[in-house]
């Protein structure tokens, strides 16, 4: 009787454990992944203001996260190789407990980014000090928990890869929740306290996972099979097939954030797509067939090439196309990666090489590419490489390539090359048609198609075809942490400074009109209104301008007027001060100083009540750094203004409507606020154009505000859903605009004409 009772108890306990395996292990993996992926946009958003809001902050952050994941996977692999499950579990839970001393996560006081130095390693050091420990130990959880499950007697223990789906589900849930739930509802401090609660919960779930495997002393039958032999060629494919999607993710993120904003929402979309591909390829059932994936990838690549030829300027249609193309490219690579996965006993090694490939992608995009490419060629380069990896798990291509196919493709690409280099007088429509037909014809020829796509991408690199055949000369181009700048000449008329893809200042090449103020700073623009108002003021004037550009505003010269330019990017300073490129600073003779560093941080060091005007004109390409637009930032600027001084913001933009953000801040601070959008036009008797502009003003000076109203400025507009932006809270989703500044300028001009 006693024997029956003890055995019945044992049977019940075994049955209970069998029922708990999947829920406990899945929840542990889901929570660990959610913590890993929610902290990435959180911490990156926290550090962004210290580094000027450049998109490179995210690339560097991703490099850190990928390197730390690699270290975590190496830790999981090493402890799996040398320790039994019990010892590994004790070590892992102990480390989780030890790293609670770093919580809640916060940036140490007095950490200031370096001036005139590349801040990549400064950012990496800061992240290692603050978040490195907790992130490292959580990173090891996914392969470790799957190894523990493989040690159990569960019927699916032989194939624990399906648990990777739970991990990626947690990643995806956290990523999607951040911009739509976490960011709108909680400030950064609240977010990090919530993250700390989740971390403590993870310790308990990990302990429960260890408890379930604690009594499993005998190896399951599937682990007693003959050991699988892994070749180095196979390991090389693991690396390459994980490197390509990692690099593409960073490349497409840079593409879409360059002109919109460096913000969590736009970081998260590519990362969520990246994670989604893992969910699909490691699911228990096939969701999308391999052939359908490869076909979709091929035809999306063809669409990109053809549209790049037809639309030589950046166009909003490219953003969803690039995201969809990235998703299918990553899915194609990860499909091949999943086909090459090993048996359970080599699981941790597989994940180690997979994370190594991801980390190499981060190193390539964040450190290597900016040093060797003056344009973001890493993105088209890796897109081309992805084409070579179609059906990479097969030793041979599916069909033989005929000489006829090769001749057609070569002739088509030669045709495009001639058109590009010699401006061959044939219509773009004919180019596009020939390329389309040729690429479709050879789409199932792996190697020929890949070489053809790679060649086409060299002629039409995504995102930087703007102006081909329009620019006659490029005297200078340069790239650093803060982005890409080019000095380019427009045929016979003017020289332009391009930051990313956006004009940051223009100067006439004609000596007669060399000091005409063009682009966003003409005398008929809203900034011209301010200087008209100040023309009658004879007292000494101090003007502070955040964002140097080419120094055009220095030509609003007047006796006893001094300009302080605040500029974070050393290469912009070198270009603006070099008279071989631009001469506004040297020829306009206005006394000026240039203060290097983030505008908000450096202007804070100036005495209170110092400036008559502070003009916020800081952009990274078309992206306005959000930390310059919070209520805390504006309180700093207001303290630096003289009584009766004014704040002026250049908010001209193609994608974001910043006016409601500033209107809410103006209302909160009870400061009169006005805006004006000016139309484009030409300098009298010339072909020199100035652009439509959108400016916003804040001032307590009644005479100045009355002057603005007389000159067609209107009260700042509000927008439903736009809340007060603070250092703890900002929401890009709420200000994505449907009309560009140019479109609104035309509407305004038509409205005034009707009156």
Show me where the domains of the chain are located.
21-217+229-293+333-372, 523-754
For the stretch 121-124, contacts whose Cβ atoms lie closer than 8 Å and that sit 24 or more positions apart, written own/partner, are 123/47, 123/51, 123/57, 123/60, 123/61, 123/64, 124/60, 124/63, 124/64
Task: Compute the average pLDDT of residues 601-629.
Answer: 85
Q: Rounded to 5 degrees, what are φ and ψ at 545? A: -125, 115
Helices (H), ranges, 584-630: 584-587, 599-603
Distance, CA of 83 to CA of 85 (rounded, Å): 7
Q: What one-character-per-residue DSSP string does 711-751 give? A: TT-EEPP--TT-PPP-SS---GGGGB-SS-HHHHHHHHHHH
CB atoms within 10 A of CB 480: 19
What average pLDDT score do residues 648-663 get? Answer: 88
Q: Which pair of tokens denotes residue 136?
A: 């490292």
Q: What is the CATH number of domain 21-217+229-293+333-372?
A: 1.20.1250.20
Q: How far apart are CA 89 and CA 95, in angstroms?
A: 10
Cα 517 to Cα 136, 224, 397: the distances in Å are 53, 78, 59
Q: Which two tokens stand for residue 440?
A: 């479709």
Q: CB–CB of 198/48 below 8 Å?
A: no
**If you average pLDDT over residues 162-173, what whole number do you get?**
72
User: Is the per-residue pLDDT at 206 higher than 70?
Assistant: yes
What percent of the chain is predicted at pLDDT more than 90?
A: 18
pLDDT band per the 50, 70, 90 thresholds, residue 468: very low
22: left (phi over 0), alpha (psi -120 to 50) or beta: alpha
The pLDDT value given to residue 675: 93
- Range with the lowest mean pLDDT among 80-84, 434-438, 511-515, 647-651? 434-438
**What confidence score (pLDDT) does residue 393 get?**
67
CA dist., res. 331 & res. 392, Å (int): 13
CA-nearest of 469, 470, 500, 466 to 312 is: 466
pLDDT of residue 91: 92
- Who wins on pLDDT, 738 or 387? 387
pLDDT tens for 382-399 read 888 888 888 776 654 444
Would you say residue 4 has pLDDT above 60?
A: no
Q: Where are the alpha helices (H) located in 506-605, listed in sequence order? A: 526-534, 570-577, 584-587, 599-603
User: What are the tokens at 606?
Assistant: 């100036």
> Angle at Cα 523 formed by Cα 522 and Cα 524, nearest 5°?
90
Token pair for residue 352? 């180690």
Asked if the model's pLDDT at residue 705 lies above 90, the reply is yes
Q: What is the pLDDT of residue 737?
A: 65
- Enumerate the β-bridge partners of residue 498: 486, 503
Q: Are residues 254 and 366 in contact, defined by beta-carbon separation less than 8 angstroms?
A: no
- CATH homologous superfamily, domain 523-754: Vaccinia Virus protein VP39 (3.40.50.150)
pLDDT, average across residues 439-464: 76
CB atoms within 10 A of CB 421: 9
β-strand partners of 696: 649, 675
Q: How far apart are CA 682 and CA 524, in angstroms?
A: 10
Q: What is the pLDDT confidence band of residue 77, given thresholds at 50, 70 and 90?
A: confident
Q: How far is CA 679 from CA 105, 649, 707, 753, in A?
A: 47, 17, 19, 12
pLDDT confidence band for 411 (50 / 70 / 90)? low
Residue identified by tokens 């005297």 is: 475
**pLDDT tens for residues 219-236?**
555 455 556 678 888 888
pLDDT digits (tens, 9 = 90+) for 345-382: 777 788 888 888 888 888 888 888 888 887 778 888 88
Identical topology for domains 21-217+229-293+333-372 and 523-754: no
Region 539-555: mean pLDDT is 89
What are the phi and psi torsion angles at 670 (to 5°)?
Answer: 55, 45
pLDDT on residue 748: 52
Task: Please report which confidence band the pLDDT of residue 735 belongs to, taking 50, 70 and 90 as the band edges.
Answer: confident
What value does the mean pLDDT of the chain take?
79
């Amino acid at each position: 009787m006693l024997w029956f009772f003890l055995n019945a108890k044992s049977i019940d306990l075994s049955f209970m454990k069998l029922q708990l395996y999947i829920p406990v292990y899945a929840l542990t993996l889901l929570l660990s992944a959610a913590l890993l992926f929610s902290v990435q946009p959180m911490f990156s958003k926290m550090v962004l203001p210290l580094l000027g809001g450049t998109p490179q902050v995210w690339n560097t952050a991703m490099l850190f996260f990928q390197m730390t994941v690699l270290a975590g996977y190496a830790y999981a692999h090493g402890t799996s190789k040398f320790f039994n499950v019990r010892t590994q579990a004790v070590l892992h839970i102990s480390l989780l407990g030890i790293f609670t001393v770093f919580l809640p996560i916060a940036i140490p006081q007095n950490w200031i980014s370096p001036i005139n130095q590349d801040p990549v390693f400064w950012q990496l050091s800061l992240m290692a000090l603050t978040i490195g420990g907790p992130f490292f130990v959580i990173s090891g959880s996914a392969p470790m928990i799957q190894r523990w499950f493989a040690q159990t007697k569960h019927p699916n223990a032989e194939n624990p890869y399906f648990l990777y789906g739970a991990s990626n589900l947690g990643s995806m849930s956290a990523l999607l929740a951040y911009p739509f739930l976490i960011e709108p509802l909680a400030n950064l401090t609240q977010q990090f306290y919530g993250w700390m609660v989740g971390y403590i919960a993870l310790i308990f779930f990990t302990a429960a996972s260890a408890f379930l495997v604690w009594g499993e002393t005998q190896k399951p039958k599937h682990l007693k099979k003959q050991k699988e032999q892994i070749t180095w060629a196979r390991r090389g494919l693991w690396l390459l097939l994980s490197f390509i999607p990692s690099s593409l993710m960073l490349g497409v993120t840079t593409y879409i954030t360059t002109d919109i904003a460096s913000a969590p929402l736009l970081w998260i979309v590519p990362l969520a797509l990246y994670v989604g591909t893992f969910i699909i390829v490691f699911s228990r059932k096939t969701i999308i067939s391999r052939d359908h994936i490869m076909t979709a990838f091929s035809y999306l690549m063809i669409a990109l090439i053809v549209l790049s030829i037809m639309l030589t300027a950046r166009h909003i249609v490219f953003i969803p196309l690039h995201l969809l193309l990235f998703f299918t490219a990553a899915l194609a690579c990860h499909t091949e990666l999943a086909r090459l996965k090993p048996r359970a006993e080599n699981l941790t090694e597989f994940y180690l090489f997979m994370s190594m490939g991801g980390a190499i992608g981060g190193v390539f995009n964040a450190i290597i590419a900016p040093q060797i490419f003056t344009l973001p060629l890493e993105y088209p380069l890796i897109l081309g490489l992805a084409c070579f990896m179609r059906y990479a798990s097969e030793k041979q291509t599916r069909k033989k390539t005929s000489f006829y196919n090769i001749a057609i493709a070569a002739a088509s690409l030669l045709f495009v090359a001639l058109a590009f280099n010699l401006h061959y007088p044939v219509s773009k429509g004919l180019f596009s048609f020939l390329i389309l037909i040729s690429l479709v014809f050879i789409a199932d020829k792996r190697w020929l198609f890949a070489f053809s796509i790679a060649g086409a991408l060299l002629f039409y690199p995504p995102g930087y075809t703007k102006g081909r055949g329009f620019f006659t000369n490029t005297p200078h181009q340069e790239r650093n942490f803060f982005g890409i700048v080019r000095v380019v000449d427009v045929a016979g008329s003017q020289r332009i400074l391009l930051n990313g893809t956006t004009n940051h200042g223009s100067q006439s090449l004609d000596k007669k009109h060399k000091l005409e103020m063009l682009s966003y700073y003409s005398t008929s623009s809203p900034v011209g209104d301010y200087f008209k108002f100040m023309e009658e003021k004879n007292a000494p004037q101090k003007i502070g301008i955040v964002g140097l550009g080419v120094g055009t505003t220095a030509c609003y010269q007047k006796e006893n007027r001094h300009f302080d330019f605040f500029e974070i990017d050393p290469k912009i300073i070198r270009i603006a001060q070099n008279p071989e490129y631009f001469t506004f600073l040297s020829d306009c003779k206005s006394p000026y100083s240039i203060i290097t560093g983030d505008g908000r941080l450096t202007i804070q060091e100036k005495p209170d009540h110092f400036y008559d005007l502070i003009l916020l004109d800081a952009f990274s390409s078309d992206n306005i750094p959000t930390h310059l637009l919070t209520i805390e930032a504006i309180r700093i600027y207001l303290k630096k203004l003289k009584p009766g001084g004014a704040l002026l913001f250049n908010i001209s933009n193609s994608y974001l409507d910043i006016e409601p953000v500033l209107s809410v801040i103006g209302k909160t601070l009870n400061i009169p606020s006005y805006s004006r959008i000016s139309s484009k036009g030409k300098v009298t008797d010339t072909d020199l154009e100035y652009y439509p502009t959108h400016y916003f003003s804040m001032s307590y000076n009644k005479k100045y505000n009355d002057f603005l109203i007389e000159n067609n400025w209107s009260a700042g507009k509000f927008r439903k859903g736009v809340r007060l932006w603070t250092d703890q809270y900002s929401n890009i989703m709420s200000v994505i605009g449907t009309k560009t500044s140019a479109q609104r300028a035309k509407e305004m001009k038509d409205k005034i004409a009707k009156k």
